[in-house]
Structure 1
């Protein structure tokens, strides 16, 4: 994977990540722990939000991207200049509203929980 996700679009990062997630899930398909898979799904999406936040680099870009993703202007501005780090911002409500799980599903990100359910039904 690319260092910190820079220089590669989110779509290409997801494209490179999907075979790894599928392979990992096929290896652990007989696991019974759903909560661990849910936690991993949440962590992967959080990490992708970190990559997006870092790619946006400047407050002006962050504000315009957040506004384009449906965050109101004042909240987008406050979020873009809050001075907190990428990990904090990726977990904050402004990023989870702008980039919800459905956003990543539309981009083609594999859900470990869904894949696990499909594998359990097929065996």
Structure 2
């Protein structure tokens, strides 16, 4: 599963965000539907955390310039000094994805179209 999500969330693929979201959702829904009888809440919780970090890394890489990063971070309601500090950071994509955990929250990622594996699993198991 992890390798397939790595393929789907590859930062160098050159496909649109909408296409990437669609493929990700199809895979997650299919995987959860197939394994819904298993008890995997803790596994899906850790996979969700890891997948959200990958998604944050994708978006950080797309914001190539410092000016664009600053503008978007300000739109996400970050203070001026914090936005400058993050936008000018020289850390890599994976490390910055961890730092953006408080800025790009679960709800923002859900609004982007990425389904939470755990939430989907819980809705499938209830029915």
Deviation at 1:24, TM superposition (A): 1.0
After TM superposition, the structure 1 = structure 2 runs for residues 68-83 of structure 1, keeping only pairs within 5 Å, are: 68-83=75-90
Contact in 2 for aligned 1:46/1:90 (Cα 8 Å): yes
Residue 97 (structure 1) aligned with residue 102 (structure 2): yes
Give CA deviations for 1:20-75 in whole Å, capped at 9, x if unaligned.
Answer: 11111112111212111011111111111000000001111111111111111111
TM score, norm. by length of structure 2: 0.84
- 2:121 pairs with 1:121: no
Structure 1 contact 49–90 (Cα < 8 Å) conserved: yes
Cα-to-partner distance string for 1:54-104 (whole Å, 9 max, x where unaligned): 000111111111111111111111111121101000011xx2222100012
User: Which piece of structure 1 moves more, 64-73 or 4-13?
Assistant: 4-13
Check whether the contact 1:6–1:51 (CA below 8 A) recurs between aligned residues.
no
Aligned residue-pair number: 120
- Are the counterparts in 1 of residues 57 and 93 from structure 2 also a CA contact under 8 Å? yes
Aligned counterparts of 1:6 and 1:79: Cα–Cα separation in 2: 25
CA distance in 2, matches of 1:72, 1:11: 29
Structure 1 stretches of 4+ moved >6 Å: none
CA gap of 1:12–1:67, structure 2 versus 1, over 3 A, is: farther
Segments of 5+ residues of structure 1 without an aligned counterpart are none
Tell me which residue corresponds to 1:22. Answer: 29
Give the 3 Å change call, closer, same or farther, for CA 7–64 of structure 1 in structure 2: farther
The 3-state SS of whatever aligns with 2:39 is coil
Instruction: Give the root-mean-square deviation of aligned CA atoms.
Output: 1.8
- 1:2 and 1:105, CA in 2 relative to 1: closer, same or farther beyond 3 A? closer
